[in-house]
Structure 1
Amino acid sequence: MQKTRVLTGITTSGTPHLGNYVGAIKPAIEASQDANVQSYYFLADLHSLIKCQDPRRVRESRLEIAATWLALGLDTDNAIFYRQSDIPEIPELTWLLSCVCAKGLMNRAHAYKAAVAENEATGQQDPDKGVTMGLFGYPVLMAADILMFNANKVPVGRDQIQHIEMARDMAGRFNHLFKGQYFTLPEAVVDERVEVLGGLDGRKMSKSYNNTIPLFAAEKKLLKLVRKIKTNSLEPGEPKDPEGCTLFQIYAAFATPGETADMRRRYLEGIGWGEAKDELFDYLNTHLREPRERYMALMEDPGHIEAVLQKGAERARAEAAPLMDRLRHAVGLGRFI
């Protein structure tokens, strides 16, 4: 039986936080252990250059994210784990797809439209001010990531569904123009059960809002950040509604159903906010202690991480190179003999 191919990209533009773990990392690592699925996980470092032109930050983020996934138990024997920039066939495929992709399709991309709308709202004469070709052509690179490995399913948030539809459009057009079944049409997978955690200020935990709790923050920093989580003015002894409470939401995302039910009861009985924050810190610190230690050890051994990524790149290129050779022949760029 042919395995279902599932592909996930991780943009290397920041430090992984609790929201990343709950929303993407944890379910992806669980999927990496499924013998019936061929998983592809890659560090989307070419994508990161669209928003970040700080080489030091890009380097740090690549190392931090790779170490995070390995520390949390990514099965790199089953899953193929690689850096996007280590696969030269991906930018080459990006160009082939660019040559069949309509500019009008890119004009409708959410990120580009948002940039134009912001320029118009601030009275800029040039609606494209600040828009790079990286931002404009981002969906083509994303399509190349997906189509390079003929992924069947791509787990995404709702805001990314459009990009999967664009990849399908490019794949279908390429197949039609060059008269062959070169690409599988990928499907977007949106898991409505995936939880979006609140941050320190109650809004969605996001680097954009500067309200995150790093996944592997040192013990003292973790305690300091947990104590900064916004709560209301209810006193100890007053019943508290766990629904919509960031403290409770984060606790429930990590705790067992039984532990969550017990904490819900304590909220209704009037647990004090200070006690609730201490309980959350103790729980997170206990459950993240071992992976944090593995993470710190990995950060001190970049050579090991590099070896894992190079092994993944070899496996990825073993698939990418033959497909790229076939595509070159399809468009007329094959060798003469």
Structure 2
Amino acid sequence: MNPVSSCDPKPAPLRGAPRPRVLSGMRPTGKLHLGNYMGALYNWVRLQSEYECYFFIADLHALTTDYADPSRIGQNNIEIALDFLSAGLDPGRCVIFRQSDVMQHAQLHALFSMFTPLGWLERVPTYKDQQEQLREKDLNTYGFLGYPLLQAADILLYKPDFVPVGADQIAHVELTREVARRFNGLYPGEFFMSPEAKPWELPSILEKARKLAGEPKDSTRTDFSAAQMYEAAQQTKKLSPFGRREILPEPQVLLTPSPKLPGLDGRKMSKSYNNHLMLSAPPEEIRAKIKTMVTDPARVRRDDPGDPDKCPVGDLHKVFSSEETMLKVYDGCRSASIGCIECKGWCADAIVTAIAPIQEHRRDLEKRPDVIRDVLSNGAQRAIKRAQPTLDEVQHVMGLR
């Protein structure tokens, strides 16, 4: 398999330093297709060896569009968990959990909704787009409008250093950064003395602090709180010794490689277009579907030369085929020495070979449902351990603790 083999989703941590934290999730829409796998899961598997990773099944997000008929959500959770594990996510190297098992997500979302401007949510690009695509559903709900805010809560709850996304998803992370910025402005953390404080500024700040506290003129008191010292520093206009701890650090985008993976009709692979190839589909189904795939429109007849760079089948070859096969594809297509049927057959062979180990692992896991249950239960406990301290801090500065 040759997908994004030359790309590296680092920056890598320094040797011996704590691993940077990464957080990402995926809505449970059933079994994953190849677009889901190459667009996210393939990279997650590689990130878990470099980062402290939290990966979750976003079943609360599923309710934002499927609230009227949630009958499939439970089984979809199981299907996506099976795909996570069979594709290589290792619960010994990352935390895998179900969003609804960690109710701190919903609690933080509720707190964020108290101060987030409505206009921020209405301007999210996918809000109007999805309403157009899902006209058959009543999406005039706060849940649908507020899903980006729930997404912000999902992320900030774990204070990750990075959120892995493709280039087309950077805008989604910006709202999270804006929410963190607004929260930190409204609810600043404690002040602290900087290790870079200028010692000659401290006597005048202490003198002002004593005066503000009503101390006698001959007082030598120095045990003032950071907040008292900061107020004194403000009045003396000497703020350099101080900093303010941010409770919710703004996460950074971690750009991960996402190869072009077209569907059977040449558009982006998607279940909504019904042009997808399932990661768990049997070989005969994959071969049959690939035979129906659109090709370079320049190849009207068998002896017309084509260009794999203008062909959706060629794009799949670039992701799944070996260099040897790619050479045959380019030479044969451009010289018209091979037909599209033969080229599609090579493509199907490459895909079937690439996902065979994943499918074998999945079949084994399907026989042991207790494994999925234990992984999600253990993952929820580990996620709660990380999430609760953040929620405690937020509740404290918002006056709830």
Question: Rg larger in 1 or in 2?
Answer: 2
Q: Which residue of structure 2 lines up, in the alignment, with residue 188 of structure 1? A: 253
Q: Which residue of structure 2 lines up, in the alignment, with residue 139 of structure 1? A: 148
Q: Which residue of structure 2 lines up, in the alignment, with residue 55 of structure 1? A: 70
Aligned partner of residue 18 in structure 2, secondary structure: coil
Alignment of 1:1-337 (within 5 A): 1-34=17-50, 37-53=51-67, 54-114=69-129, 130-180=139-189, 181-191=246-256, 193-231=257-295, 232=297, 233-270=299-336, 271-334=338-401
Aligned partner of residue 357 in structure 2, secondary structure: helix
Q: Distance in 2 between matches of 1:306 and 1:19?
A: 26
1:43 CA drift (Å): 0.8
TM-score, normalised via structure 1 length: 0.88
Residue type at the aligned position of 2:171: Q
Deviations 1:149-190 (A, max 9, x none): 011211224453333211111112212222212111012234
**Structure 2 unaligned spans of 5+:** 1-16, 190-245
Aligned partner of residue 243 in structure 1, secondary structure: helix
Give the conservation status (yes or no) of the 8 Å contact 1:14–1:207: no
Give the conservation status (yes or no) of the 8 Å contact 2:263–2:275: yes
Q: Distance in 2 between matches of 1:115 and 1:269?
A: 43
Residue type at the aligned position of 2:55: Y
Residue type at the aligned position of 2:35: G
Q: Percent identity?
A: 35
Aligned partner of residue 72 in structure 2, secondary structure: helix
Residues 272-281 or 83-92, more deviating: 272-281
Q: Distance in 2 between matches of 1:17 and 1:172?
A: 36
**Structure 1 unaligned spans of 5+:** 123-128
Residue type at the aligned position of 2:272: S
Residue type at the aligned position of 1:212: H
Q: Distance in 2 between matches of 1:75 and 1:257?
A: 30
Aligned partner of residue 188 in structure 1, secondary structure: strand
Q: Which residue of structure 1 lines up, in the alignment, with residue 201 of structure 2? A: none
Per the alignment, do residues 27 and 259 of structure 1 end up closer, same or farther by CA in structure 2, a change over 3 Å counting? farther
Per the alignment, do residues 260 and 56 of structure 1 end up closer, same or farther by CA in structure 2, a change over 3 Å counting? farther
Q: Please report the RMSD computed on the Cα atoms of aligned residues, expressed in angstroms.
A: 2.3
Residues 203-212 or 262-271, more deviating: 262-271
Q: Distance in 1 between matches of 2:56 and 2:94?
A: 10
TM-score, normalised via structure 2 length: 0.75
Q: How many pairs does the alignment contain?
A: 324
Q: Distance in 2 between matches of 1:76 and 1:118?
A: 36
